[in-house]
Amino acid sequence: MQSIAAKRSALSWVVNFSVIAIVLVWLFPTTGLFVSSFRTADQITSSGWWSSLTTQEKQNAPIRIGGEETEADGLFVIEGRLFEAEDVLVRAWGTSSRRPNEFAPGDTTELTKDRTLTVQEDGSYRFTAAVSQEGERLPRVFTSASTPPEFTTDNYETMLFDEGSSDSMGKAFMNTFIVTIPATVIPILFAAFAAYALAWMQFPGRAILIAAVVALLVVPLQLALIPLLKFHNQIGIGKGYLGIWFAHTGFGLPLAIYLLRNYMVSLPKDIIENARVDGATDFQIFTRIILPLSFPALASFAIFQFLWVWNDLLVARVFLIDSSGQTTVMTNHIVELLGTRGGNWEILATAAFVSIVVPLCVFFFMQKYLVRGLLAGSVK
Amino acid sequence: MAELKLRDVEKTYPGNVNVLRDINLDIEQGELVVFVGPSGCGKSTLLRMIAGLESISGGTMEIDGMLVNDIPPSLRGIAMVFQSYALYPHMTVRENMSFALKIAKKSKSEIDAAVENAARILQLEPLLDRLPKALSGGQRQRVAIGRSIVRDPKVYLFDEPLSNLDAALRVATRLEIAQLKEQMPNSTMIYVTHDQVEAMTLASRIVVLANKSIAQVGTPLELYETPENEFVAQFIGSPAMNLLSGTVTETGERTVVKLNGGGTAVSSVATTEADKGLSVNVGVRPEDLVKVEDNPLFTGDVTITEALGEVTILYFNDSSEKLISKLPGIHKSLRGQTVHLGAAPEKVHLFADGKSLLYRN
């Protein structure tokens, strides 16, 4: 007994540890993407996402002062603010790249040619000169400032809603839905009928059909791309939504039928026979008994298929995306962004997060159907 | 008129596997017929053929005068209670019971009335809105029965309905089924079981199935008192009937058999002169054996005693022919002793070639 208990606890440790490890491995980059997508390009280049929640002390790039010149008491004065944001506090400042932290806030420094500069803690400055600075190069100010946490939704606005921007993936986002939803629903509909027939209806050739479905499971998708596209072109579908729906349906069906048939065949035979004695037709048995009881299998396949279609690039490239640019999908859009905006992490992080947030929602929505014990109480 | 009429029914599975043949049976309205037999004798298959869940390979089957060989289950006027209950797990008790009527497109009021009626008979009223998983085993069984009552069938079919219940519940549910039958005297029921207590207590007639065909049909007491063959003799009754081989020495109104084990058996079964010298098996039930002084049928040493209180079962395992006897009262002291046993002539059965001599002619 003792050894069994010890084994079990060791095993449960392994299980717990693995779960924690998996959760961390998964959560860490996801959180990173999520946080980064709300930061500005400057913030991303100057600090990591993990420090985004704390006030940061950092050396800012030099800012050249400028503004309207006013004359007062024989001095030419320029006043203004270094930062647009209100809550940035200057810790130290300087006018030379060698000593960027030379002065404290509030100090006044004498520059050459009878000019002075004062920078206050809140970033406002006052510059005075004996002669007009019209046409002169004004000095640069180096600051070391502390910035409170700041988040912006600008990235999302640029990515999703800014029609003018070439980065905008609003169109690609919608296109992906247009591809994914029918490409998930159609195979489930077909497969559920087929699975019922293969599981519970007697007809000649049933075993061969099942074998064929299993055989189709192992056919590599790439093998079928060219012939299928040729076929689509011949029958006049060409590239387009109809074509990609058919393609995804076809590629998804073997797994769907196999999965659902195996689930349905495991439902108690007595229930189906009882329904038959009760006078239900095959169609009624299917819709009123089998479908409600097959929810876990339907949901798991729906999640599979949704993820696969959502993340698909290859099939979309072959069957959908043409040179018009109107039929791009998110995966393709992100690939293009990587090429054109490879350095703009805020754009890439936002794009990546947009593309994973939908599958996440689908998973959490469908997860409640992945329940055990659906058959409880039916048969003993 | 017979409610159910089977003529030369047989069942052959693909690959020429014959599981049932020569099934001839008439079941009248209001009867409760029990199919019993050892495991694999085809009793469930026969029931499923009546239900329409298995095809009929040969012969004819009529329900209420209508040939039903190729009629689907739902049109045969039968309702079946499955061994596993087979409740629809995603439907409440009410939905479970009304499913068949909804399929048949009955009106709402008609369905409600039928469900209420069945729920009243089975005392399921407080449970109507529960899901099957919230019911106990006995309640599930009642729902399964209720589902068939609702359909008001010509024939009820029960496929080992009690075998999933624990012992105490089984006795209680058996009584409930007996009461149910009393409440619905005109309903015809066919009941499959391997439990002979269920068969003996519930049945108006028992059909014993053995070796792919019917061994005997009769009331429980007919089967017990006048079995047609050795199989039925040994299958009905517990412990099983003793069979002792011997040779007929005297014939007439009473037959005397000289047993190979040394004893002499006298039976009230009549024989003719021609039977003299016939090799027979003498059958005596353990409970019909009594201790005697003279002319014992059997003499042997008791090897094991099992005192059950009201009876003591004696095993004679060392003798040339093994024998079991059941004596009223407690006789633990008999262990190891030599006992002489005899039986009243009318309790002694004679079998030749496995068939009872009583049923010759």
Q: Are A191 and A258 in contact (CB under 8 A)?
A: no
Average pLDDT of span B316-334: 86
R_g (Cα) of chain A, nearest Å: 32
Judged against a pLDDT cut of 90, whether residue B334 lies above it is answered with: no
On whether residue A108 sits in a domain, the answer given is: yes
Listed residues A114, A147, A180: the one ending a domain: A147
Domain coverage including residue A8: 2-53
d(CA A195, CA A104): 77
Instruction: Count A/B contacts: CB-CB distance under 8 Å.
Output: 87
| Predicted pLDDT at A247 | 93
Do residues A170 and A304 both lie within one domain? yes
Do residues A236 and A360 both lie within one domain? yes
The CA–CA distances, whole Å, from A374 to A274, A293, B131 equal: 18, 7, 11
CA angle at B287 for the pair B283 and B289, rounded to the nearest 5°? 65
Q: Does A98 touch chain B (CB under 8 A)?
A: no
CA angle at B178 for the pair B176 and B180, rounded to the nearest 5°? 65
Average pLDDT of span B141-168: 90
Q: Which residues of A touch B52 (CB under 8 A)?
A: 277
Q: Which residues of B touch A376 (CB under 8 A)?
A: 89, 132-133
Domain count, chain A: 3
- A269 → chain B, closest CA residue: B86
Q: Give the pairing type, strands B338-342 and B290-291.
A: antiparallel
Give the confidence band of B211 by pLDDT, cuts at 50, 70, 90. confident
Q: Edge-to-edge strand order for the sheet containing B255-259?
A: B264-267, B255-259, B242-250, B279-284, B349-352, B355-356
Using the beta-carbon criterion (under 8 Å), do A277 and B74 form an inter-chain contact?
yes
Do residues A237 and A323 both lie within one domain? yes
Do residues A342 and A194 both lie within one domain? yes
DSSP assigned state of B229 = B
**How near does any CA of chain B get to the CA of A275, in Å?**
8
**How near does any CA of chain B get to the CA of A271, in Å?**
5
- Could you tell me if residue B38 is left (phi over 0), alpha (psi between -120 and 50 degrees) or otherwise beta? beta
* CA diameter of chain A: 108
Listed residues A22, A38, A53: the one ending a domain: A53
Q: Given A268, A278, A375, which is nearest B74 (Cβ)?
A: A278
Peptide bond into B239 cis (omega under 30): yes
Do residues A214 and A349 both lie within one domain? yes
Do residues A118 and A166 both lie within one domain? no
On whether residue A153 sits in a domain, the answer given is: no
On whether residue A256 sits in a domain, the answer given is: yes
Question: For B53-110, what is each residue's pLDDT tens digit?
Answer: 999 999 999 998 899 999 999 889 899 999 888 999 999 999 999 999 999 999 999 9
d(CA A128, CA B190): 112
Question: For A262-316, what is each residue's pLDDT tens digit?
Answer: 999 999 999 999 999 998 999 999 999 999 999 888 988 998 899 999 999 999 9
Do residues A242 and A115 both lie within one domain? no
Question: For A86-125, what is each residue's pLDDT tens digit?
Answer: 777 888 888 877 887 888 888 888 777 778 888 888 878 8
Do residues A87 and A229 both lie within one domain? no
Catalogue all structural domains in chain B, each as residue range(s) with its CATH number. Answer: 2-235 (3.40.50.300), 244-359 (2.40.50.140)
Average pLDDT of span B10-36: 92
Q: Given B51, B72, B84, which is nearest A380 (Cβ)?
A: B84
CA angle at A144 for the pair A140 and A145, rounded to the nearest 5°? 115
CB-based contacts of A136: which residues, under 8 Å, 6+ apart?
Answer: none
Using the beta-carbon criterion (under 8 Å), do B82 and A278 form an inter-chain contact?
no
Do residues A358 and A233 both lie within one domain? yes
Judged against a pLDDT cut of 90, whether residue B223 lies above it is answered with: yes
Give the confidence band of A7 by pLDDT, cuts at 50, 70, 90. low
ipTM of the complex: 0.83
Judged against a pLDDT cut of 60, whether residue A343 lies above it is answered with: yes
Q: Which residues of A touch B90 (CB under 8 A)?
A: 292-293, 374
Do residues A112 and A231 both lie within one domain? no
| Predicted pLDDT at B231 | 93
Do residues A143 and A177 both lie within one domain? no
d(CA B250, CA B253): 10
Question: How does A77-107 read in b/e, with b if 16+ C-beta sit within 10 Å?
Answer: bbeebbbeeeebbbebbbbeeeebeebebee
On whether residue A376 sits in a domain, the answer given is: no
Residue where the block lists tokens 């050396």: A59
Q: Given B80, B134, B137, which is nearest A380 (Cβ)?
A: B137
Give the confidence band of A49 by pLDDT, cuts at 50, 70, 90. confident
d(CA A367, CA A365): 6
Listed residues A147, A169, A199: the one ending a domain: A147
Question: CATH code at A328?
Answer: 1.10.3720.10
**How near does any CA of chain B get to the CA of A292, in Å?**
7
Q: Give the pairing type, strands A56-59 and B2-13.
A: unpaired
Mean pLDDT of all residues in chain B?
A: 91
Query: Which candidate in B87, B115, B162, B169 is best for mutational testing of the A interface (most A CBs within 10 A)?
Result: B87
Q: What share of chain B is helix, strand, coil (3-state, %, to 5)?
A: 30, 35, 35
Q: Which residues of B touch A293 (CB under 8 A)?
A: 89-90
The CA–CA distances, whole Å, from B111 to A76, A276, B94, B98, B142 equal: 98, 19, 10, 6, 18
On whether residue A130 sits in a domain, the answer given is: yes
CA A368 to chain centre: 22
d(CA A354, CA A29): 14
| Predicted pLDDT at A204 | 94
Judged against a pLDDT cut of 70, whether residue A336 lies above it is answered with: yes
d(CA A243, CA A260): 25
Judged against a pLDDT cut of 50, whether residue A1 lies above it is answered with: no
The CA–CA distances, whole Å, from B105 to A83, B108, B146 equal: 77, 9, 19
Question: For A134-146, what is each residue's pLDDT tens digit?
Answer: 777 788 888 887 7
Beta bridge partner(s), residue A335: none
**How near does any CA of chain A get to the CA of B44, in Å?**
13
CA angle at A98 for the pair A96 and A100, rounded to the nearest 5°? 60
Judged against a pLDDT cut of 70, whether residue B224 lies above it is answered with: yes
| Predicted pLDDT at A5 | 56
Q: Are B213 and B20 in contact (CB under 8 A)?
A: yes
Q: Are B91 and B115 in contact (CB under 8 A)?
A: no
R_g (Cα) of chain B, nearest Å: 24
Q: Are A329 and A336 in contact (CB under 8 A)?
A: no
**Interface residues from chain B to A (CB-CB < 8 Å):** 51-53, 72-75, 78-80, 82-90, 99-100, 103-104, 131-135, 137, 140, 147, 151, 164
Do residues A261 and A340 both lie within one domain? yes
Backbone angles phi, psi at B19, to 5 degrees: -110, -20
Q: Give the pairing type, strands B32-36 and A75-81.
A: unpaired
Q: Is the dihedral of CA B315, B316, B322, B327 positive or negative?
A: negative
On whether residue A379 sits in a domain, the answer given is: no
Q: What share of chain A is helix, strand, coil (3-state, %, to 5)?
A: 55, 10, 30
Beta bridge partner(s), residue B267: B255
On whether residue A216 sits in a domain, the answer given is: yes
d(CA B160, CA B174): 11
Question: For B263-318, what is each residue's pLDDT tens digit?
Answer: 899 999 988 888 888 999 999 999 999 999 888 888 889 999 999 989 999 999 87
Coil, strand or helix at B358 = helix
Q: Are A380 and B137 in contact (CB under 8 A)?
A: yes
On whether residue A311 sits in a domain, the answer given is: yes
Helix (H) or strand (E) holding B313: strand B311-316
Q: Which residues of B touch A285 (CB under 8 A)?
A: none
Judged against a pLDDT cut of 80, whether residue B153 lies above it is answered with: yes
Most confident of the ranges A149-153, B183-187, B319-323: B183-187
Q: Are A94 and A101 in contact (CB under 8 A)?
A: yes
- Residues of chain A with pLDDT > 70, as a percent, come to 95
